[in-house]
Structure 1
């Protein structure tokens, strides 16, 4: 049986406990990160789409750092976009700032109709560095 160890970024723990899920789980050398959105400290969406995507990546990077890794360790990405036909270009202009160098992680993009007031969500799986994989 694999052991699940929750990973929490600094602050914001109450949000996860209130909603009854972990921001990330470390298991068998991998880190499984829950979908991250561009939420402000109070949990509300950042209204500007460009800023919302950047904040989602900042929130994601805080979780990755809390687990001892970075976006360079990400192997699989899933993004959810409300109305991708009108928002895709704005979102994809921001990604290179966070994506890093090739080889890039795998990617699945999903168009959705609702994200609890958000327009973008990113979920990842990362391979933990060997020194912290257990």
Structure 2
């Protein structure tokens, strides 16, 4: 099965993809594998305030999904990475509940880490693409 790299249109954050050598997402058949999205500003730098960083990460994820013709409703698996899970949990859950307000929720795995290249939160997903895509 061929794999196609996808990037959001008019994306200023391409500097992160180029700097670290990865694609925003890979489409393979009807599956979309989205690389970890962080709360970066347009210049690629981290959003300094944690909750805003999480919101930006979800916004950046939304842009990648949109480039593939998908939405949060198409996500089947989520993995998040946290530098201080216990202290960050409430902010993350608030943003998460806005992104996924209705059941059934996607699978979710949260991983505590010590380093995220200057960020404090990262989210990666697998989505099944709609038939129209």
- The bucket for the TM-score relative to the shorter chain is over 0.9
1:5 aligns with 2:4: yes
Give the equivalent residue in structure 2 for 1:67. Answer: 68
User: C-alpha separation between the residues in 2 aligned to 1:43 and 1:130?
Assistant: 33
**What displacement does 1:92 show?**
1.1
TM-score, normalization by structure 2? 0.94
Q: Distance in 2 between matches of 1:123 and 1:14?
A: 18
Structure 1 segments (4+ residues) deviating >6 Å: none
Q: Check the 8 A contact 2:2/2:29 in 1, yes or no.
A: yes
Q: Which runs of 5+ in 2 are unaligned?
A: none
Q: Which position in structure 2 is the counterpart of 1:54?
A: 55
Name which of structure 1's ranges 29-38 and 6-15 shifts more when overlaid on structure 2: 6-15
Counterpart CA distance in 1 for 2:44 and 2:83 is 18
How far is the alpha carbon of 1:19 from its aligned partner? 2.1
Q: Distance in 2 between matches of 1:118 and 1:17?
A: 17
- Tell me how far apart the structure 1 counterparts of residues 120 and 100 of structure 2 sit (CA, whole Å): 19
Give the Cα separation in 2 of the matches to 1:3 and 1:99.
Answer: 30
| Deviations, residues 74-121 of structure 1 (Å, cap 9, x unaligned) | 000000000112111221122111113110000001001111111110
Q: What TM-score does the superposition give when structure 1 sets the normalisation length?
A: 0.93
Q: CA RMSD in A?
A: 1.1
Unaligned runs of 5+ in 1: none
* Aligned pairs, number: 131
Q: CA deviation at 1:18?
A: 3.1
